[in-house]
Amino acid sequence: MGINNIIKAIRSKKSKRFLISTHRNMEGDAIGSMLAMAELLKRAGKKVILFPPEDMPDTYKFLPGAAKVKLMSNIKDIDYDVACLLDCTDIERIGSVKVGICLTRPILNIDHHISNTYFGSINWVEPNMSSSGEQIYHLFRKMSIPINKRVALYIYIAMLTDTGSFRYSNTTADTHRIIAELMQYGIDAVDIYRKVYEGVPRSSLTLLASALSTLDTAKNGEIAWVHVSKAMLSSHKAGIEETQDFVNFPRSIKGVKIALAFREARKGLVKVSLRSNEGVDVNRLAKQFNGGGHSSASGCVLKGTISGAEKIVVTSAKKLLRNST
Ligand SMILES: [Mn+2]
């Protein structure tokens, strides 16, 4: 089992210094898992080097220990024994900090994406778990390291955000059991919800209004999508990170099986978010375009224009629905 091999690697006397990293565009799971893993390793008597692919996003700066999540200035020549990569489908997802990872040293790959490429020297992949944070919870329990309020908060944030506040299909009975347990450490769910999801800039809402006006559908309303162009971003003075959840709006329409959001990251590069209802496997769709993720939530990147990307992905989405009914 993956978890046992991970524990063995952590306990090994030869492994003293651990480097921890995660994917770019860090969200709640990436950040929560990284901080929780750092606590676990420290309490197991290890030295920890936090090695994030970017600076801490503003939303999560309220977390204790947030100040330590900073992109290092010299990402090369980092001295460590074992690298621990969290919530990453493949090693490319850590972005430019990859140059700091020495491929001859062990890599622990802890992830919950079905599309994981098993890039590590030790791989622990749990597609049935809600989040990498949930995996770290099991590490604490299995290693008999007590959880405290701070760790409970990190894991709570990871599970809250990756399940879309316990709405997505990765929300299981185990998810709720673990959350109930974490709340006993004094988690203030109302306060966290407000900090993570609200307090959005005005620009996010005006941009959303404009994105919603691009709503289009196909196949009798079973496929629905919106887009955000570079021009829309600049006219609302908004950043692309403010559009991460936009795909949930077409997804919420009655009868929609596949929802898409096309976001122009820069000229000639379109990020596509794919979501599904009723068990449709959009990971298969994302894979056709060298992307991946989970069966009900995936992503891919296409070169070209937004309208070009819409045409080709919607055509494939229609085919997927035709073949799955
Ligand atoms: Mn995750």
| Ligand 1 midpoint to CA 213 (Å) | 30
| Ligand 1 midpoint to CA 45 (Å) | 26
Residues 184 and 238 in one domain: no
pLDDT score of 325? 64
- pLDDT < 70 stretches in the chain: 1, 325
What letter represents residue 170's amino acid? N
Residues 142 and 65 in one domain: yes
Domain boundary among 179, 197, 215: 197
How remote is the C-alpha of 198 from its chain's centroid? 19
Residues 218 and 184 in one domain: no
| Ligand 1 midpoint to CA 129 (Å) | 9
pLDDT score of 75? 84
Residues 82 and 214 in one domain: no
Residues 59 and 126 in one domain: yes
Residues 184 and 283 in one domain: no
Range of the domain at 225: 202-324
pLDDT score of 103? 85
Q: Token digits for 253?
A: 């329409």
* Cα angle: 26, vertex 30, 35; to 5 degrees: 115
Q: Token digits for 18?
A: 């651990």
Residues 180 and 274 in one domain: no
Residues 86 and 163 in one domain: yes
CATH of the domain at 121: 3.90.1640.10
Domain boundary among 197, 231, 264: 197
| Ligand 1 midpoint to CA 82 (Å) | 21
CATH of the domain at 274: 3.10.310.30
Q: What is the pTM of this model?
A: 0.86
Number of domains in the chain: 2
pLDDT score of 200? 84
What is the distance between the alpha carbons of residues 53 and 70, in angstroms, rounded to a whole number?
A: 8
pLDDT score of 289? 97
Nearest of 132, 113, 54, 27 to residue 286 by alpha carbon: 113
| Ligand 1 midpoint to CA 46 (Å) | 24
Asked if residue 48 lies in contact with residue 18, where contact means CB atoms within 8 angstroms, the answer is yes
| Ligand 1 midpoint to CA 238 (Å) | 25
| Ligand 1 midpoint to CA 266 (Å) | 25
| Ligand 1 midpoint to CA 111 (Å) | 7
